[in-house]
């Protein structure tokens, strides 16, 4: 294990990420920074390096909530603290919130040991208290449960944490630098949660050969002798630490004039961001930029740079919209205010962390000889990322969304089955009816199906099955109370034995694996018809995104079926694959169902607690090979026999209908809905719960 932290000034490149972190170190009221990027781009390394730069903090001796002796929290649970209370300095903490942490671990909870042993209500602080006046780091924040994200973002926004649970009512200060990192390939944060982060930066590995060489050179030197490497950069680290301290001291004197405020308001209004949080965060960021540059006036360039950090993620209105900001439009808006008021002369010192100490400027004697700093998360060359899926901000509008009537006698296959048809754009998505899996599961937290979860409403109590997960205090007391005389209790308190312990049984919602099996054959290839089908699947993808599901996609056409998208949490990738989905050829329905069976088999081995929901989008026709309908029916019965919850979206249209999708639904033992019935505002009757005769996973 390394004995020294990788130096912040030794990080090569990553200018936006380093600047965002430094601005939050200067002004934590900005609200933190979310770092989005591919794996192996020094996200974790840089965050850990920043914590070593923060100045020491003085805390009241014995206070578990790190109260500042100069201004102690009057509501501190360990207070009140007297004037002149003993205090001592300590390094600023970096507290890491693991993805699997419980809510009790984050916000704190009743101290069960003292409650049972001493009969007092005592509060056990959580990670929000430990992070006060330090850094709270959440790696893979997009995989964190929504209830945890809500709690920590509320604390970051208000500067305090309130706990009301199990008879405990506590409020304590909780001001910290919030840093979240995520890989977008693992799924996006909801727009509501994105908005709660002050700044967002995108990072990617450099494609410049010399820069990548310098990354490897520095990382290998650090791994060989961490202490010597850190010592080589100690002077640069100390200079940067002093600059952060000076900027913090200057921050209260920075003037945010009316001209700067008008620019900020015009930019936020011009990009149509929701609410007022964007204006406030941009103002705080611009002020911190001025302090970082050693100025007391906010310039137009400060506003521009602040907008580039604070607005891109707030422009993401729809879940499939990619974050970003049109810089030409930004400059056009700012040019309208060029003559409003004279701007102060810019500071001769360049702005931004890349111009600070240890960044290769004149006199920099650190390793790299003037190379711009950047680091790596691990030894060796940073990972080359998989190419990101291209996305459009909005699907193309079709002339009509109704399925096109099919030609031919008796609904026969269209001639287009002989070859590929051009890919049709998806019609506009709509709000869909809720489909869920029957029974009571135990999968990952989500919003689709009923499940036993660690969170949610308490529905009862039971004896622990293994390690005690969540104590049901009232049930435990009731179980222990009748035995107190026999146990010789002679004073206050309660004698509790292991047999008395009861854990809470809670019911919430789980996310499912929604596996789409999409018919892309020639019978679906009519342009308007396929556009409507893609619009329906896009709507279901949007629903899966909002309900925190994993999704997968199988398409079948021509001679067989293929996995267009392996199960993933990134529905953005699913939407991109759907947009480019080719159509044409015959209809190998059985191949599509069998491919779904294999995908579900493998996924059960990887994640046995996540229950699947199979959504088959087809008109029910089956062609190609011997007995295509009989083979499709056998494949459907195979899925039904394993208890897979299914729903068939019937895409058949026109005056002559064969009802083959209905036959498929009966074989799958699931409901059949039409495209019109899938809409949440449809007046047609819809089976609201996917029925499944198997009770394999039922409560």
Active site residues: 277
Helix intervals (H) in 352-394? none
DSSP 56: P
Q: What are the residues whose beta carbons fall under 8 Å from the beta carbon of 405, sequence distance 6 or more? A: 653, 654, 655
CA torsion angle for 591, 597, 602, 604 (degrees, to 10)? 160
Task: Give φ, ψ of 418 to 5 degrees.
Answer: -75, -15
DSSP 608: T
Q: What are the residues whose beta carbons fall under 8 Å from the beta carbon of 1, sequence distance 6 or more? A: none
Q: How far is CA 131 from the centre of its chain?
A: 21
Half-sphere exposure of 264 (CA within 13 A, CB side): 26
| DSSP codes joined into one string, 430-442 | -PBPP---SS-B-
Q: What are the residues whose beta carbons fall under 8 Å from the beta carbon of 406, sequence distance 6 or more? A: 414, 523, 526, 653, 654, 656
Tokens standing for residue 355: 């111009």
Positions of E strands within 520-630: 550-557, 560-568, 583-584, 612-618
| DSSP codes joined into one string, 219-242 | HHHHHH-HHHHHHHTHHHHHHHHH
Environment class of residue 20 by beta-carbon count within 10 Å: exposed (0-12), middle (13-18) or buried (19+)? buried
Q: What are the residues whose beta carbons fall under 8 Å from the beta carbon of 627, sequence distance 6 or more? A: none
Report whether 125 contacts 172 (CB < 8 A): yes
Per-residue burial over 538-562, b = 16 or more CB atoms within 10 Å of its CB, e = otherwise: bbbbbbbbebbbbbbbbbbbbebbe
Tokens standing for residue 535: 């619009």
Cα separation, 6 vs 233, whole angstroms: 10
**Please, which contacts does 237-243 make with residues 24 or more away whose CB atoms are closer than 8 Å?**
237/7, 237/8, 237/9, 237/52, 237/53, 237/357, 237/358, 239/356, 239/357, 239/358, 240/8, 240/9, 240/53, 240/356, 240/357, 240/358, 241/53, 241/54, 241/55, 243/292, 243/356, 243/357
Cα separation, 152 vs 189, whole angstroms: 14
Per-residue burial over 349-382, b = 16 or more CB atoms within 10 Å of its CB, e = otherwise: eebbbbebbbbbeeebebbbeebbbbbbbeeeeb
């Amino acid at each position: 294990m390394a004995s020294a932290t990788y130096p912040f000034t030794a990080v090569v490149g990553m200018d936006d990420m380093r600047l965002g972190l430094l601005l939050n170190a200067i002004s934590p009221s900005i609200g933190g920074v979310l770092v989005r990027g591919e794996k192996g781009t020094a996200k974790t390394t840089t965050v850990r390096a920043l914590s070593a730069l923060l100045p020491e903090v003085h805390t009241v001796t014995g206070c578990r909530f790190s109260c500042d002796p100069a201004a102690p929290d009057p509501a501190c649970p360990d207070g009140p603290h007297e004037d002149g209370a003993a205090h001592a300095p300590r390094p600023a903490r970096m507290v890491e919130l693991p993805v699997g942490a419980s809510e009790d671990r984050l916000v704190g909870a009743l101290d069960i040991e003292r409650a049972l042993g001493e009969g007092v209500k005592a509060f056990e602080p959580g990670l929000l208290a430990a992070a006060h006046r330090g850094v709270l780091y959440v790696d893979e924040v997009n995989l964190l449960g929504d209830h945890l994200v809500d709690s920590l973002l509320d604390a970051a926004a208000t500067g305090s944490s309130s706990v009301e649970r199990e008879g405990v009512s506590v409020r304590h200060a909780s001001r910290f630098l919030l840093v979240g990192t995520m890989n977008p390939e693992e799924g996006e944060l909801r727009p509501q949660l994105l908005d709660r982060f002050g700044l967002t930066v995108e990072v990617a590995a450099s494609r410049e050969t010399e820069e990548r060489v310098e990354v490897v050179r520095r990382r290998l030197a650090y791994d060989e002798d961490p202490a010597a490497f850190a010592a080589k950069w100690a002077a640069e680290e100390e200079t940067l630490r002093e600059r952060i301290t000076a900027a913090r001291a200057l921050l209260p004197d920075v003037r945010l004039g009316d001209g700067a405020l008008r620019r900020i308001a015009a930019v936020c209004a011009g990009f149509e961001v929701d609410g007022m949080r964007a204006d406030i965060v941009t103002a705080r960021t611009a002020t911190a930029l001025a302090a970082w540059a050693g100025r007391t006036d906010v310039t137009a360039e400060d506003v521009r740079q602040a907008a580039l950090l604070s607005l891109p993620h707030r422009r993401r209105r729809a879940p499939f919209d990619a974050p970003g900001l049109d810089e030409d439009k930004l400059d056009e808006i700012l040019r309208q205010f060029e003559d409003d008021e004279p701007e102060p002369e810019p500071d001769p010192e360049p702005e931004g962390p890349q111009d600070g100490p240890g960044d290769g400027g004149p006199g920099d004697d650190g390793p790299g000889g003037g190379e711009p700093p950047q680091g790596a998360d691990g030894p060796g060359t940073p990972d080359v990322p998989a190419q990101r899926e291209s996305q459009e901000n909005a699907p193309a509008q079709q002339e009509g969304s109704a399925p096109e009537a099919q030609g031919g006698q008796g609904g026969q296959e269209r001639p287009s089955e002989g070859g590929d048809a051009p890919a049709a754009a998806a019609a506009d998505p709509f709000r869909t009816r809720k489909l869920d899996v029957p029974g009571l599961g135990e999968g990952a937290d989500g919003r689709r199906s009923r499940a036993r979860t660690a969170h949610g409403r308490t529905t009862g109590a039971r004896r622990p099955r293994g390690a005690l997960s969540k104590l049901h205090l009232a049930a435990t007391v009731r179980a222990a109370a009748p035995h107190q005389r026999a146990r010789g209790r002679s004073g206050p308190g309660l004698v509790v034995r292991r047999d008395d312990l009861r854990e809470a049984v809670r019911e919430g919602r789980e996310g499912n694996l929604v596996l789409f099996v999409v018919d892309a054959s020639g019978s679906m290839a009519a342009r308007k018809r396929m556009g409507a089908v893609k619009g329906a699947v896009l709507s279901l993808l949007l629903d899966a995104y909002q309900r925190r599901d994993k999704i997968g996609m199988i398409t079948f056409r021509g001679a067989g079926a293929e996995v267009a998208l392996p199960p993933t949490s990134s529905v953005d990738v699913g939407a991109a694959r759907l947009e480019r989905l080719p159509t044409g050829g015959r209809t190998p329905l059985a191949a599509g169902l069998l491919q779904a069976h294999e995908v579900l088999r493998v996924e059960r081995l990887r994640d046995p607690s996540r229950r699947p929901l199979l959504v088959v989008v087809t008109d029910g026709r089956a062609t190609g090979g011997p007995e295509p309908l009989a083979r499709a029916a056998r494949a459907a019965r195979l899925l039904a026999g394993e208890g897979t919850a299914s729903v068939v979206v019937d895409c058949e249209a026109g005056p002559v209908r064969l009802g083959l999708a209905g036959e498929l639904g009966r074989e799958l033992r699931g409901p059949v809905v039409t495209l019109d019935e899938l809409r949440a505002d449809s007046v047609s009757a819809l089976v609201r719960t996917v029925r499944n005769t198997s009770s394999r996973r039922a409560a």
